[in-house]
Structure 1
Amino acid sequence: MENKKLQREISLTGALSTVMGTVIGAGVFFKAAAVASHTQSAGLALFAWLLAGVLAICGGLTVAELATAIPKTGGAIQYIEATYGKVMAFLLGWAQTIIYYPANIAALSIIFATQLMNLFHLSQQALIPVAIITAISVTGINLLGTRVAARVQSITLIIKLLPIFAIVLYGLLTPGAVNVSLINLEIGGDQSWVAGFSGALLATSFAYDGWLNVGNVAGELKNPERDLPKAIILGLSFVTLIYWAINFVFFKLLPVDQIAGNLNAASEAAGLLFGTIGGKLVTIGILISVYGALNGYTMTGIRVPYALALQTKFRFSSSLTKLTRRTYVPLLPALIQLVIGCGMILVGSFDLLTDMLIFVMWFFSVLIFFAVFILRKKEPTLARPYKVPLYPTTPIIAIVGGLFILIMTAMTQPILVLSGVSLTLLGIPVYYLGQKKA
């Protein structure tokens, strides 16, 4: 291994593939179950999908200004440090390293293995081993180099869009068994509207999660000032459209009570549309979609501890910044991420892992949205190739949406919040201990 620089090898296509490929993964197919459980209403569920998309687009438009002004590897870490200092930047990197990326890898590996078991009618006892093997295989692909990982991302994006387009296009043209009312925003069941809708919005937020990760590879983009905002804005707009459309088809084909809590709802809808064989082919496409998202999180997650080590001179920083000799990939960060992810596979569940990571990351996302206001006053001469449109309305919408998710999650799932916050705050003594040893 040699301590060389990361290579600028990612084009607009690669960046767009990273945004869409990371966002479009398990969430679009499997979070429909959680959203339906919270709302018990097709109209309210579809509204949650649409609103989450609007919030993601506003967030993307906001963060794109920071991404082009600070186009460095590490993405959000760089924005936080420029605004709030090294300690907060370290806490974000710490949370991403020990919670966010490993939890995503674990959750996606679990859902991949679950669907593989169902597709081939395998014993559920093989679930954990298959999930771990899945995580290992994706890490292995990324160790082959950024170019290989980005190529896999582009290929899986094309393949994963096939089952989505098939379900959406054929589903919209096929008469449905259920009459879906788009204007009925009443909640079903016996819970309050606010609690149910906030839970649904939190679930949809996971499905849209991942767009911020392209900033992690900004240092490897050929033209980050031009390509980064395009990738975020175009990618999120398209994702919002297809997310709403595919969920409309789900509710058109299946009643709410058959979708709620049913992780196989997408496969069942595909079976209704295309028959048994066609449904299995779509399920294979869904598996490829999940694998592509897993690759996207693995590729971007590896760069976080690498960027953190470059900025924070710890005792072991030199080990974290060493790149593989031929492929120029941070080896130790890749292995750390894999080990933590495998540990989470052994003890976690899909919804628990995703809900925890979403709360933690929305906290830092809100800080990043505020950073646009702070840096415009703090660094007025900073070169900004792109400025957020409709300022300050766009970032304010992103901030309000983020605060709503944080407040409602704290009220409805306090234990989950405490777990995520506690793990994040553990980074404070780690930071100062590392500084003392340096």
Structure 2
Amino acid sequence: MEENKNSKELVKTVGLATATFTVVGSIIGAGVFFKPQAIYTATGGAPGIAMLCWLIAGLVTICAGLTVSELATSIPKTGGMAIYIKEMYGDMFGFLAGWVQVFLYFPAMIAALAVVFADQFVALSGMPSMKMPITVLMLIIVFFFHLQGGKQSAAIGNISTVSKVLVLFIIIIAGFILGKNNASITQPFIGEGVNPVVAGGQVLLALFFVFDGWINVCALAGEMKNPAKDLSKAIVGGILIVLAIYVIVNIAYLRVLPAKTLGGSASPGLDVAKAIFGDIGGLIIGAGIMISVFGCASAFSFTGSRVLYAIAQDDVLPKSDKLSKLNKNGVPGNSIIVIGIISFIYAMSGQFNLLSDFAIFSIWIFIVLTFFAVFKNRKLKDPKTFAFRVPAYPLVPILAILGGAFVLGVQLITSTLLSLGSIIILLLGVPIYKWGSKKVKNNNI
């Protein structure tokens, strides 16, 4: 965004339409093509509870968006969640929010996308031995592009957006017209012997990955023309558009293949395409899915490296002076390389669902903390002065908290080691922050 030279503030150029499209573009990604496997595996091949969870996830995400909108408009600063955490809980918690994003969330998301990109290549080529080489090659290409400058990143994003929208549109139209599976999309509700509470939690965790990205628009609050009027509309409107697309495309999936088949597929979107169009048509759609996945990974690597670069500006991290340097192309080269190395380490697991769950669990700890911040903010400030107040307060924030807490709780119970690993990495940020803060304080004496 252009900077106002007199006020040294970002010019407010973002309107409702741009913000809404940012929400839609940020959310729609790889999950809609690949998460049906995890969803229908968790439900025992039953579609009913899965379709219900789509609506619940959409409702919780809307409540979450409305809740965070109040914070975003009462703290109209560019930066998003980490800024709200810092304002409400102090510098250390703000640092930890950034720490988790940089060392857990972004690298795990990038790694998950690299793995699923390779899975898609294997499904198209029939060469399983190429999974790890393709995973590594994809990461190298993504981060190489980012080291070259911002124009390349923007081009990848534009191509990816066109690809994913086109592929979804084709699958929806063809699925409804050519799909021959007339089985119910609501029955059976749950698979035999499957615990509905545990299954519901696992499905919601998968769906929060699919809906992930909505909070990114809050980072634009400081650049919006009228955040008080438009931010909540953009978030809720964008989420509703995406929810409608997701529900319709999943009905289209079920019109083509039964839920049990989707649950056993490593690449449900591709298998649906093959069932509709045959191998050649499936190959074309599969290539479109791969482009979409590549673009998603590129977007996460772009944002993640900038978050690390921003944290390094405070000089708290080790080697902050190196991480806050720009290379000859005007991008934070060292930060890009660090995010790339961490992503590479995570990608060696080769597990898409494990990595995506790892990422979502880590970030939702702070998203739930952000929901609680709404109550704290109202104690510190007079709500009557807020440009936007969350409707049906305190019900909407409570629903957002309960939704997030439920998923975190299920993850702790069903994937204890994974969850504890996230928490340990989070806690490692505490001594690093204290060491770095002490160093900064000493340097300023």
Give the alignment's TM-score, normalised by structure 1: 0.89
SS at match of 1:190: coil
| Shift in alpha-carbon separation, 1:268–1:102, aligned structure 2, 3 A | same
* Counterpart for residue 174 of structure 2: 170
| Shift in alpha-carbon separation, 1:381–1:145, aligned structure 2, 3 A | farther
Alignment of 1:148-163 (within 5 A): 148-163=152-167
Alignment of 1:12-31 (within 5 A): 16=20, 18-31=22-35
Give the alignment's TM-score, normalised by structure 2: 0.87
* Counterpart for residue 388 of structure 1: 390
Q: Deviations over 1:138-197 (max 9, x none)?
A: 233334444653453244212211111111122123353241243x47310312111111
User: How many Å separate the matches in 2 of 1:318 and 1:218?
Assistant: 29
User: How many Å separate the matches in 1 of 2:79 and 2:350?
Assistant: 27
Alignment of 1:150-229 (within 5 A): 150-182=154-186, 184=187, 186-216=189-219, 221=223, 223=225, 225=227, 229=232
The alpha carbon displacement at 1:214 in A equals 3.8
* Counterpart for residue 434 of structure 2: 432
Kindly, what percent of the aligned residue pairs are identical? 38
User: How many Å separate the matches in 1 of 2:245 and 2:209?
Assistant: 15
| Shift in alpha-carbon separation, 1:385–1:331, aligned structure 2, 3 A | farther
* Counterpart for residue 294 of structure 1: 297
Give the residue type in structure 1 aligned to 2:203: A
8 Å contact from structure 2 (residues 117, 293) kept in 1: yes
Alignment of 1:225-264 (within 5 A): 225=227, 229-264=232-267
| Shift in alpha-carbon separation, 1:319–1:270, aligned structure 2, 3 A | same
1:95 to 100, 109, 115: 100
8 Å contact from structure 2 (residues 208, 360) kept in 1: yes
* Counterpart for residue 125 of structure 2: 120
User: How many Å separate the matches in 2 of 1:385 and 1:152?
Assistant: 37
User: How many Å separate the matches in 1 of 2:226 and 2:83?
Assistant: 14
- Segments of 5+ residues of structure 2 without an aligned counterpart are 1-7, 441-445
Give the residue type in structure 2 aligned to 1:431: Y
Q: Deviations over 1:221-257 (max 9, x none)?
A: 5658376545433322211111111111222221222
The alpha carbon displacement at 1:117 in A equals 2.7
User: How many Å separate the matches in 2 of 1:89 and 1:229?
Assistant: 23
* Counterpart for residue 422 of structure 2: 420
Moved more, 338-347 or 18-27: 18-27
Find out whether 1:80 has 2:85 as its counterpart.
yes
| Shift in alpha-carbon separation, 1:92–1:336, aligned structure 2, 3 A | same
The alpha carbon displacement at 1:95 in A equals 1.1
Q: Deviations over 1:325-378 (max 9, x none)?
A: 554x33322221111001111234111111112112111111101112211221
User: How many Å separate the matches in 2 of 1:10 and 1:317?
Assistant: 32
Give the residue type in structure 2 aligned to 1:317: S
CA RMSD of aligned residues (A): 2.8
Q: Deviations over 1:100-139 (max 9, x none)?
A: 0000000001111221232233x33332232222223223
* Counterpart for residue 138 of structure 1: 142
The alpha carbon displacement at 1:272 in A equals 2.0
The alpha carbon displacement at 1:42 in A equals 0.8
Moved more, 46-55 or 12-21: 12-21
* Counterpart for residue 320 of structure 1: 323
The alpha carbon displacement at 1:80 in A equals 0.4
The alpha carbon displacement at 1:428 in A equals 0.9
Give the residue type in structure 1 aligned to 2:346: M
| Shift in alpha-carbon separation, 1:362–1:368, aligned structure 2, 3 A | same
The alpha carbon displacement at 1:8 in A equals 6.9
* Counterpart for residue 310 of structure 2: 307
8 Å contact from structure 2 (residues 58, 239) kept in 1: yes
Find out whether 1:359 has 2:347 as its counterpart.
no
8 Å contact from structure 1 (residues 79, 368) kept in 2: yes
- Segments of 5+ residues of structure 1 without an aligned counterpart are none
User: How many Å separate the matches in 2 of 1:319 and 1:325?
Assistant: 14
SS at match of 1:322: coil
1:344 to 343, 346, 349: 346
The alpha carbon displacement at 1:38 in A equals 0.8
8 Å contact from structure 1 (residues 22, 292) kept in 2: no
Matched residue pairs, number? 431
8 Å contact from structure 2 (residues 30, 292) kept in 1: yes
Moved more, 274-283 or 356-365: 274-283
1:111 to 109, 116, 136: 116
Give the residue type in structure 2 aligned to 1:115: Q
User: How many Å separate the matches in 2 of 1:277 and 1:29?
Assistant: 18
| Shift in alpha-carbon separation, 1:190–1:297, aligned structure 2, 3 A | same
User: How many Å separate the matches in 1 of 2:410 and 2:27?
Assistant: 23
Give the residue type in structure 1 aligned to 2:406: F
User: How many Å separate the matches in 2 of 1:108 and 1:283?
Assistant: 15
* Counterpart for residue 443 of structure 2: none
Question: Which of structure 1's runs of 4+ aligned residues deviate more than 6 A?
Answer: 5-10
* Counterpart for residue 265 of structure 1: 268
User: How many Å separate the matches in 2 of 1:185 and 1:77?
Assistant: 42
User: How many Å separate the matches in 2 of 1:274 and 1:297?
Assistant: 32
* Counterpart for residue 53 of structure 1: 58
| Shift in alpha-carbon separation, 1:282–1:8, aligned structure 2, 3 A | farther
8 Å contact from structure 2 (residues 265, 271) kept in 1: no
| Shift in alpha-carbon separation, 1:335–1:117, aligned structure 2, 3 A | same
Q: Deviations over 1:373-393 (max 9, x none)?
A: 211221338975443333333
User: How many Å separate the matches in 1 of 2:258 and 2:101?
Assistant: 37
8 Å contact from structure 1 (residues 14, 150) kept in 2: no
